[in-house]
Structure 1
Amino acid sequence: MSPDQLNIRHLMALPLVVRSGSISVAARAVNLTQPAITQGIAKLERQIGMALFDRVPGTLVATPAAHLLAERANNALRLLGNRRATAAQIRAFVALAQYGSYAAAAGATGLAEASLHRAVADLSLALGTRLVDRRGRGVMLTRRGDEIARNFRLALAELRSGLAEIAALQGREVGHIAVGAMPLSRARLLPNAIATFLRDHAQVDFSVAEGSHAELLGPLRDGDIDMMIGALRDEPPGPDLVQTALFTDQPLILARPGHPLAQEAGRPNPADLAAFPWVMAAEGTPLRGLWRHMFALADVELPKVPVECGSVITIRQLLGQTDFLTMLSPDQVAVELEAGWLVQLGVAPGVVNRIIGLTTRADWRPTPLQLKFMATLEEEAGKMRPVPKD
């Protein structure tokens, strides 16, 4: 089931009943009648397919499923902030934020445009703030609307994790793991980890979003992806994110077969490398920083970079027709080297390496399945180049 089908007021009541063992205590706290709370708990039990409480004289004893769902509900309610929002309003606003217009959101969700308009308008009134501005046929979220949409997505991600944990209690190892993959991780680490993991957890679904560090930060912060894999920054991009090292990558200098420098033995000379044009990753990326550092160590003026590009296929085709050089991870070009499309001139001169790892939200609490996948990533990374110990 989808987490946006859960009733918000029922979720508000659940942790109170778990703590107190009393329907009446929860009813007073959330301003619902005792029958309404009783019916709400019964509905939650039908939705998850498990009992939330054992009924004993004078009290209700929370089951493991209740404890799991109550903790996730508390986190989700904290993210929602204002508890006057309904599940229908949250569903409508998240869809509008994702698709950018009422028409597109209606087409994607199957809801009527009029229903979406009404739900978003009611939500705006309930929260006491303007959420969207008209922009032609579409809408643009206000600054406050953008913050609320992000929190709603994170709240839904919390509830989705809770439902996955309850499924595990039922012996159903189901779940969804969303990974943001930067270029380096796509060649070997991530495919190997997913293949290994699925051999033991065949019912788990994966989605892989490809992009640069900058492109994936938003989806990570929004909860659309669970983790991001690739080159780590010297400092985390913010206090809300945590970086975990997996392995050390030492890039190679690459060229076409028959390149004038291809016959030279040993580590390439920076002065010789500077005599040729380069195709490199964009400014601000760790690889471009390492490239600059390589020439700075040798006190050699930077060569020209007529082309900025992160696509291995594009770089391969460009190098094959020119005397351009590039610097990439050996994992990114393993196929090209084996096929003879590119040749390595050697490892980058100087102490030039980067740390590849995971970036996650600081307040993220992974499910057991997500933890197992992260352990699988660490095992696969251990087969590569370990991170040096201090």
Structure 2
Amino acid sequence: MASGLSPFSFNLRHLAAVAAVTHKGSVSAAASTLHLTQPAVTQAIARVESIMDVQLFERRTDGMTPLPPAMALAERVEQAAELIGSRRVTMAQLRAFLAVADSGSYAAAAAQSGLSQPTLHRAIGDLSLILRRSLVERRGRGIALTDAGRRTARNFRLARTELEAGLDEALGQSGGVPARITIGAMPLSRARVLPRALARFNTAFPAIEIVIVEGSHGELAESLRDGSIDMMVGAMRDPPPGPDLTQRPLFEDEVIIIARAGHPEAGPARDRPLSDLAGYAWILPSPGAPLRTRFDEMFRTAGLAPPPVPIECGSVMMIREILMQTDFLTLLSPDQVSVEQEAGWLVSLGAPPGGFSRAVALTTRAQWRPAPAQAVFIAELDRAATEPFASAYGTEREQICDSDR
């Protein structure tokens, strides 16, 4: 969270009291729902307000009227409660289990969380009883999560994310610290659209923290599912990555064949038969990446065996250095190598025969509800995706952008 205020600072039952009063409209109705006394509900709300240093309700003789921070927080608390699955779970148990799940051992979890190992053992044992499932099992001298434990860990991480979003939104509604946005950027999604959207958003909202997490599609998809990142940008997957994730195309990206200056195939623009290009080694991403799939299809459709790919790589910096020292070929977006082409290090051999495009998409969790700041950033991303690109040298380029290879 941008504010540094952790969900672990709160009692889950106290947060549930805020949500219940918000939705029920009175302390008495909330107390009945939560099976608590009215003074307990009142004290719970006062405690949350004290920790947040925000007024959540307007006290009136005829009841309590939720203010915007309470309404923002209540929705997220209810979402978190559904993910947790039992109102008997405490924040201490949630924290202890995530510490063990994230660190992989009780010793590491104790060092990370500051909780003692006996406290962690007791909390997870109680949690297993409450949820009626085994969460952790012994593996030799270590431990591992059971299948149920892995599912529970994912739900708890998403619950923590919902609570973080709720606190951020409530603080933003009160004029406090706004939300943080965490974006997953695939290997080649960082050429133009994402940086442009980030620059504009930061100019408009300089106090909002932006975190960029780089990685492959597989790595980022798991982080997205766990709630560690809010969204990711990169090449659209076909078939889609699963029913729990939603892809939305931003724009179509064209790629070109790139080689070093002085490459045997370099020279005047011409149609190069695939049979000529098949005689060279290529550097491309691993099998399964959209670009690699299209590359293999291109040669097979022409009745040719795909040429060798002795080096599999998604790093543009690494690809650039290898190309400059060898006769390797690759496929890249023009934006990604505009500076290298201007400097005369790399040259374009033109578009692949028949053309070559792929959709660049925004991927989010299927049931994700963006916070206001996140929605504004997504609007900036959409805006940047529709604009032409002017390079550092002043030439207007086509509407193309680098993406996950």
Structure 1 pair 267–200 and aligned structure 2 pair: CA distance change class (3 A): farther
Deviation at 1:81, TM superposition (A): 0.8
Q: 2:360, 2:12 → 1: CA distance?
A: 40
Which residue is 1:2 aligned to?
Answer: 6
One-letter amino acid of the counterpart of residue 209, structure 2: D
SS at match of 2:122: helix
SS at match of 1:122: helix
Asked if structure 1 preserves the Cα contact closer than 8 Å seen for 2:69 and 2:171, the reply is no
Deviation at 1:111, TM superposition (A): 2.4
1:362 to 363, 366, 369: 366
Which residue is 1:38 aligned to?
Answer: 42
Offset from partner CA, 1:306-327 (integer Å, 9 cap, x none):
2221122222222222211111
249-258 or 15-24: which moved more?
A: 15-24
Asked if structure 1 preserves the Cα contact closer than 8 Å seen for 2:94 and 2:156, the reply is yes
Tell whether 2:296 aligns with 1:256: no
Q: 1:386, 1:255 → 2: CA distance?
A: 22
SS at match of 2:349: strand
How do 1:140-155 residues align onto structure 2 when only pairs under 5 Å count?
A: 140-155=144-159
2:185 to 181, 186, 211: 181
Which residue is 2:229 aligned to?
Answer: 225
Which residue is 1:330 aligned to?
Answer: 334
Structure 1's consecutive aligned runs of 4 or more residues displaced over 4 angstroms after TM superposition are 384-387
One-letter amino acid of the counterpart of residue 197, structure 2: A
Query: Gapped runs of 5+ residues in structure 2?
Result: 389-397, 401-405
Query: Gapped runs of 5+ residues in structure 1?
Result: none
1:49 to 50, 53, 75: 53
Asked if structure 2 preserves the Cα contact closer than 8 Å seen for 1:267 and 1:348, the reply is no
Q: 2:40, 2:141 → 1: CA distance?
A: 41
Q: 1:130, 1:110 → 2: CA distance?
A: 24
Structure 1 pair 378–7 and aligned structure 2 pair: CA distance change class (3 A): same
Deviation at 1:177, TM superposition (A): 0.7
Asked if structure 2 preserves the Cα contact closer than 8 Å seen for 1:267 and 1:347, the reply is no
Which residue is 1:67 aligned to?
Answer: 71
SS at match of 2:58: strand
Offset from partner CA, 1:33-57 (integer Å, 9 cap, x none):
2211110011111122222222222
RMSD: 1.8
2:30 to 26, 30, 51: 26
304-313 or 143-152: which moved more?
A: 304-313
2:352 to 338, 348, 352: 348
Q: 1:173, 1:293 → 2: CA distance?
A: 50
SS at match of 2:249: strand
Q: 2:92, 2:116 → 1: CA distance?
A: 12
Which residue is 1:208 aligned to?
Answer: 212
One-letter amino acid of the counterpart of residue 285, structure 1: A
Asked if structure 2 preserves the Cα contact closer than 8 Å seen for 1:254 and 1:328, the reply is yes
221-230 or 92-101: which moved more?
A: 92-101
Structure 1 pair 172–53 and aligned structure 2 pair: CA distance change class (3 A): closer
Asked if structure 2 preserves the Cα contact closer than 8 Å seen for 1:10 and 1:37, the reply is yes
Deviation at 1:297, TM superposition (A): 4.3
Deviation at 1:235, TM superposition (A): 3.4
How do 1:157-196 residues align onto structure 2 when only pairs under 5 Å count?
A: 157-196=161-200
Q: 1:150, 1:112 → 2: CA distance?
A: 23
Asked if structure 2 preserves the Cα contact closer than 8 Å seen for 1:229 and 1:359, the reply is yes
Deviation at 1:227, TM superposition (A): 0.3
1:301 to 305, 310, 326: 305
Structure 1 pair 267–247 and aligned structure 2 pair: CA distance change class (3 A): farther
Which residue is 2:96 aligned to?
Answer: 92
SS at match of 2:294: helix
Offset from partner CA, 1:315-344 (integer Å, 9 cap, x none):
222222221111122232233323333211
1:292 to 285, 292, 296: 296
Q: 1:152, 1:250 → 2: CA distance?
A: 40
Deviation at 1:254, TM superposition (A): 0.9
Asked if structure 2 preserves the Cα contact closer than 8 Å seen for 1:297 and 1:350, the reply is no
One-letter amino acid of the counterpart of residue 35, structure 1: P
Q: 1:171, 1:323 → 2: CA distance?
A: 58
TM-score, scaled relative to structure 1: 0.94
Which residue is 2:395 aligned to?
Answer: none
SS at match of 1:355: strand
Which residue is 1:237 aligned to?
Answer: 241
2:379 to 360, 375, 387: 375
Asked if structure 2 preserves the Cα contact closer than 8 Å seen for 1:168 and 1:174, the reply is yes
Q: 1:304, 1:67 → 2: CA distance?
A: 58
Q: 1:99, 1:299 → 2: CA distance?
A: 50
One-letter amino acid of the counterpart of residue 234, structure 1: D
